[in-house]
A and B are shown apart, each in its own frame.
Chain A
Amino acid sequence: MRITLKVWRQSGPAKAGTLVEYAADNVSADMSFLEMLDLVNEGLIARGEDPIAFDSDCREGICGACGFLIDGLPHGPVRGSTVCQLHMRSFSDGDTLVLEPWRAKAFPLVKDLVVDRSAFDRIIQAGGYTSINVGGARDANSILIGKDTVEQAMDSAACIACGACVAACKNASAALFTAAKITHLSLLPQGQVERYTRVVRMVDRHDDEGFGSCSNEGECEAVCPKEIPITNIARMNREYLKATLMRGR
């Protein structure tokens, strides 16, 4: 099949960007979307032109490196999928697709479809852990955790920090990303000791990084490749409220 691409090209954060049209010929339905882009880039490199920059690594939907907007949708039209797991069989011969980077103040553009998501690391750094040093852990089976509880925690822990939730949100909020980690740890006994300091520190850091607030649109849940539900955000808000009451803030 033949696909026409309109790709956002911008050589650096301070440069002007524009949509540039490319033709992708001989696209096979079994190709992943990124393999189709590899093909386009192969043509550009052979002609001595600067290839389209995009992030990707594991190409099996778990590292969270890849992601951009396809016709305005983070990771494209298939639910519960990263763009590396999206295959060309989801498109038709002759389609024209517009590719743009995540757009959010807290994700400054690096080049073309690549943005800087280090704000996510700084949110985790603020409290997304249990403060346990190596050496002091007790026997693993001395902590009993119900099967349902651990399954629910795992649903939240499955977040891959790709940034789609931020890209989909009209407020560019990272509420779903932040809430997923808070939910994971607040459900488990290991996370109880720091439960209330954690939520306050992480939410405050989220705001400091320039992400917007959640206004319950639910766009994030719709595009999350791991299908993490918005109920995580409700839990985060509840945890935050409890924490502020308990800490007198």
Chain B
Amino acid sequence: MTLDSRTPGGPLPGKWDRHRFESKLVNPANRRKFTVIIVGTGLAGASAASSLGELGYNVKSFCIHDSPRRAHSIAAQGGINAAKNYQNDGDSIQRLFHDTVKGGDYRSREANVYRLAQLSVNIIDQCVAQGVPFAREYGGLLDNRSFGGAQVSRTFYARGQTGQQLLLGAYQSMMRQVEKRSVSLFANREMLDLVVVSGQARGIICRNLITGEIERHAGHAVLLCTGGYGTAYYLSTNAVNSNVTAAWRAHKRGAFFANPCYTQIHPTCIPVSGTHQSKLTLMSESLRNDGRVWVPKKNGDKRPPQQIPEEDRDYYLERRYPSFGNLVPRDVASRNAKVVCDEGRGVGESGLAVYLDFGDAIKRLGEDVIRTRYGNLFDMYRKITDEDPYRSPMRIYPAIHYTMGGLWVDYNLMSTIAGLHVLGEANFSDHGANRLGASALMQGLADGYFVIPYTLANYLGGTAFPVVTTDHDAFRDASDTVQGRIDKLLNARGKETPRQLHRRLGQLLWDYVGMARNDAGLGKALAEISKLRDEFWQNVSVPGPANNLNKNLEYAGRVADYLEFAEVLTVDALHRTESCGGHFREESQTPDGEALRDDANFSYVAAWEFKGVTAKPELHKEPLDFEYVKPSQRSYK
């Protein structure tokens, strides 16, 4: 099978306009005849549900939470990028496009990124119209700040709660459609299988998490907006219920998984403090606008930070990257933190942390200004660590945060299964091998508000749909598969909890498929993952009942999927012997330790086809052509 990205022809700036004109439309009176199933209610899912509901489609929206407003987009802190150039500092669509392609280490599709940059300006307009309380200047205009990987200020923000406010905007718009009955809401539902009939995605099987009932839902298209797979690593900044299950089950039904090895390790998280931890907490990248990152110059300098004089401090990001300083992209900042800690210059009890110091900023601007900018983040830090960041520097360390890889999609956001569309973090499309800060919110909302209304109409308007009801054999088969797996979990009756097994998988992935990867380590991880998977099925403990709220049963099913997914993640990391963005292969680095790409051999998207749980997945390549941006060694010096 050849992967066709269906990228429209013509010059880059006109591709999206041209595509919209050439796309088929669905007559307003016919839209309600189409049922669109949307799984997930984060920024991508909620924005898609509201915009498709407004257009008049019959939308069914599913989420695993008790309310759609709890999706993990709510936790995004720092901001959302848009090429508004409100600051008159040289920004443009062209520059946002360029920064994003470069930030992604030249592993993304140009046409997708250009469209994203174009749509970014509409997103801000839409959100402001919804009443999103973005930060303002005294004159009443919108305020901006800078984020990593950019030399312009194009990030819009609402304190450290930008994700919350954007998600509530999308959620409220979606609830307006629920009131109008164009969107039906199915909360407390977990999608456990995709139903494919004659090659088309025609429905889903889900479990009602309150009653345990296995439900069948049929439709004309399915939109997966289910986020990333960072929780495969156990400790991450993701919510504890974020998971790969929906995407993984779709993969097993034929959707290719693209670039799973592109994982983002966020440089500024609160360090691990003990084995009891259930998650790691992010401290927004926006803090690097005013915070300075440093470690002691000397190995093993255990003096408290206030007693270490300036001349004994190494502001290593400012030293190594004078033009971007503390605002280098995330992959670069994370790798450098690892390097200084590996040298023995890490701070804190574990030695796995670096300082993020606001001392200078507080001296320069005053404590009140810093409190206005980052008050809620400082409070969060204090609650978790019991230390006051206004008095002593924060200690931070990288943690798994976001996953650039995801289900393969074409320019229309459609996967390798007809009718199965994938939006937001769940797809692979726009961020290449590394995502720039404040671009995830932009992508989720661009996909849901502005891309899918056009590309879905094109699919629905141009496709013949045989009549399919939930009595169809495909629904029965999928439903039986789901039930069989639940029964198998309940009947394992072993001694280990899903959490213990998950923690072991996470440690394995962090050690060998984490910030630095090599051939031997990846090979070892592959062997260990399959052993751990066998152990899971022999020894997992999942007490009943099945017909009631049973969070441990839900969790066990997700861990079982991580154990399958981890293999394709590792296989992808093993096959890509170059370094790029968040994927750092120790064998491939420049003399001064930067990621060294191998464009001659790896300038492609790696899309993996499922061949069975124990079989090696099959690799398909989508070549990447760069017409407008010339790939070069990425430099932030």
Q: Please give the residue numbers on chain A whose beta carbons come within 8 Å of chain B beta carbons, in ascending order.
A: 11-12, 28, 30-32, 34-35, 38-39, 41-42, 44-46, 48-51, 53, 55-65, 80-81, 85, 87, 89, 110-111, 114, 116-118, 120-121, 124-126, 128-134, 136-141, 143-147, 150, 153-154, 157-158, 160-161, 184-185, 188, 190-191
Contact = CB atoms under 8 A, between A and B. Distances in A.
A232 B322 CA distance: 48
A46 B239 contact: no
B75 A11 contact: no
A184 B133 contact: yes
Given A53-B551, A64-B69, A134-B50, A146 B133 contact: no
Contact of B133 (A30, A128, A137, A150): A150
Contacts of B172: 124, 128-129
A136 B51 CA distance: 12
Given A87-B383, A130-B130, A63 B70 contact: yes
B374 interface: no
A158 B50 contact: no
Contacts of B69: 64, 121, 161
16 contacts: A32-B278, A38-B276, A45-B497, A56-B240, A59-B281, A60-B380, A62-B164, A87-B383, A87-B386, A118-B66, A125-B178, A132-B130, A134-B450, A153-B133, A157-B158, A161-B69
Contact of A49 (B273, B543, B550): B543
A89 B127 CA distance: 40
Interface of B: 47, 50-51, 54, 65-70, 72, 74-75, 84, 86, 122, 124-131, 133-142, 158-159, 161, 164-165, 168, 171-173, 175-176, 178-179, 185, 187, 210, 239-241, 273-274, 276-279, 281-282, 379-380, 383-384, 386, 449-450, 453, 493, 495-500, 541-545, 548-552
A51 B551 contact: yes
Nearest to B281: A60
Given A62-B74, A154-B159, A138 B138 contact: no
A190 B165 contact: no
A134 B541 contact: no
Contacts of A55: 66
Contacts of B158: 154, 157
Contact of A130 (B54, B129, B240): B129
A35 B278 contact: yes
A9 B562 CA distance: 31
**Which one of B127, B128, B450, B498 has the highest number of Cβ atoms from chain A below 10 Å of its Cβ?**
B128
A56 B66 CA distance: 10
A120 B67 contact: yes
Contact of B175 (A57, A61, A110, A124): A124
Nearest to A89: B386
Given A48-B543, A60-B75, A129-B130, A30 B273 contact: yes
A63 B72 contact: yes
B231 to A, nearest CB: 11
Given A65-B70, A147-B137, A157-B168, A57 B384 contact: no
**Which one of A28, A30, A60 has the highest number of Cβ atoms from chain B below 10 Å of its Cβ?**
A60
A228 B128 CA distance: 22
A57 B65 contact: yes
Given A59-B279, A145-B140, A134 B126 contact: yes
**Which one of A136, A154, A185 has the highest number of Cβ atoms from chain B below 10 Å of its Cβ?**
A154
**Which one of B140, B165, B495 has the highest number of Cβ atoms from chain A below 10 Å of its Cβ?**
B140
Contact of A150 (B134, B210, B541): B134
Contacts of A110: 210, 549
A154 B133 contact: yes
- Chain A at the B interface: mostly helix, strand, loop or mixed? loop
A134 B543 contact: no
Contacts of A85: 380, 383-384
A56 B551 CA distance: 11
A55 B168 CA distance: 20
Contacts of A131: 176
Contacts of A81: 383
Contacts of A184: 131, 133
Contacts of B138: 146-147
Contact of B131 (A46, A116, A130, A133): A130
B274 A30 contact: yes
Nearest to A117: B66
Given A57-B70, A129-B176, 9 more contacts: A64-B69, A81-B383, A137-B125, A138-B125, A140-B134, A153-B133, A154-B159, A184-B131, A184-B133
A28 B210 contact: no
A185 B131 contact: yes
A248 to B, nearest CB: 24
Given A132-B130, A141-B86, A190-B128, A150 B175 contact: no
A110 to B, nearest CB: 6
**Which one of A63, A118, A154, A160 has the highest number of Cβ atoms from chain B below 10 Å of its Cβ?**
A63
B139 A144 contact: yes
6 cross-chain pairs, A with B, having the tightest CB-CB distances, nearest first: A144-B140, A129-B172, A137-B129, A137-B125, A140-B128, A57-B239
Given A35-B278, A121-B68, A141-B142, A190 B130 contact: yes
B124 A140 contact: yes
A48 B65 contact: no
Given A38-B499, A121-B67, A63 B75 contact: yes
A239 to B, nearest CB: 15
Contacts of A137: 122, 125-126, 128-129
B68 to A, nearest CB: 7
A134 B449 contact: yes
A145 B511 CA distance: 49
B549 A114 contact: yes
Given A48-B541, A87-B386, A191-B131, A134 B140 contact: no
Contacts of A38: 276, 278, 499
B129 A158 contact: no
B205 to A, nearest CB: 22
A121 B63 CA distance: 13
Contacts of A51: 543, 551-552
A174 B478 CA distance: 42
Nearest to B549: A111
Contacts of B550: 50, 53
Contact of B66 (A65, A129, A190): A65
